[in-house]
Amino acid sequence: DTAVSQTPKYLVTQMGNDKSIKCEQNLGHDTMYWYKQDSKKFLKIMFSYNNKELIINETVPNRFSPKSPDKAHLNLHINSLELGDSAVYFCASSQVAGGYNEQFFGPGTRLTVL
Amino acid sequence: SQQGEEDPQALSIQEGENATMNCSYKTSINNLQWYRQNSGRGLVHLILIRSNEREKHSGRLRVTLDTSKKSSSLLITASRAADTASYFCATDGGFKTIFGAGTRLFVKA
């Protein structure tokens, strides 16, 4: 059983298009995240949701819109894709409790914008 | 510089040798975590050390934390080729975990 899954694994698209990445976790966690990892492997948090509520939005362009239909899902929609959006996007989940926040990551979605 | 910066950026060693990676951070923390990322995969949690702990062991991993210097180190003993990966420290501020740029470890067989 995959704990955190993402689809698609690879996404190649043209500039200006709109695309979505889906994420699902079966761990029963309350908190889910989206991270962007650039070509230098730097991992930057984009969004964090707790119980379907947005709690962190790290100055991400509003072309990026997360949606959490329920606690187990956090999708990421990207409008008007730009070259600089090319990266690997990771979804993660955790159960934050007592200052403990071990995160479980999905396999990543490699987005290439041409 | 970013919270959770690892040093060195890259490390190449022979199988059987020990590998030490360092992490520095800027603000006060609740705890510090280390993660591993194999090529083309997501990050996997290795170990967490709380701010009131100084040292922690897990198998071949040893983590130290010096809150006065705002630094941590990860030691992997008797390294194996399968340890080849990128290693990230992450500082935990509740719902917002900040990852460093990672150390790329290459273990030669």
In chain B, which residues have their Cβ closer than 8 Å to the Cβ of A45?
96-99
With residue A25 as reference, give the H or E element that holds it.
strand A19-25
DSSP, residue by residue, A26-44:
-S--SEEEEEEE-TT--EE
A39 Cβ contact partners less than 8 Å away, ≥ 6 residues apart? A87
Mutate which: B21, B30, B34, B43, vs A, most A CBs within 10 A: B43
Look at the block and give the residue holding tokens 């990852």. Answer: B99
Evaluate whether B24 touches B71 at the Cβ level (below 8 Å). Answer: yes
DSSP, residue by residue, B6-25:
EE-SEEEEETTS-EEEEEE-
Nearest CB to A42: which of B50, B101, B104? Answer: B101
pLDDT at B94: 64
Which of A58-67, A95-104, B1-10, B40-49 shows the lowest mean pLDDT across its residues? Answer: B1-10
Evaluate whether B88 touches B43 at the Cβ level (below 8 Å). Answer: yes
A62 Cβ contact partners less than 8 Å away, ≥ 6 residues apart? none
Q: Which two tokens stand for residue B34?
A: 């280390």
Q: Residue-wise pLDDT tens for chain B (109 aa)?
A: 335 677 788 999 999 999 999 999 988 888 999 999 999 999 999 999 999 999 999 999 999 999 999 999 999 999 999 999 999 999 976 667 888 889 999 999 9
Evaluate whether B107 touches B15 at the Cβ level (below 8 Å). Answer: yes
pLDDT digits (tens, 9 = 90+) for B88-108: 999 976 667 888 889 999 999
Q: Which two tokens stand for residue B21?
A: 């990676």
Answer whether residue A78 shows pLDDT above 60.
yes
3-state secondary structure of A53: strand
Write b or e for each residue in B82-96: b if 16 or more Cβ atoms lie within 10 A of its Cβ, otherwise e.
ebbbbbbbbbbeebe
In chain A, which residues have their Cβ closer than 8 Å to the Cβ of B88?
43
Torsion of CA A43, A49, A54, A57, to 10 degrees: 0
Of B9, B33, B44, residue with least CA distance to A108: B44
Evaluate whether A105 touches B43 at the Cβ level (below 8 Å). Answer: yes
Q: State the distance between the two ends of chain B, measured CA to CA, in whole angstroms.
A: 34
Answer whether residue A97 shows pLDDT above 60.
yes
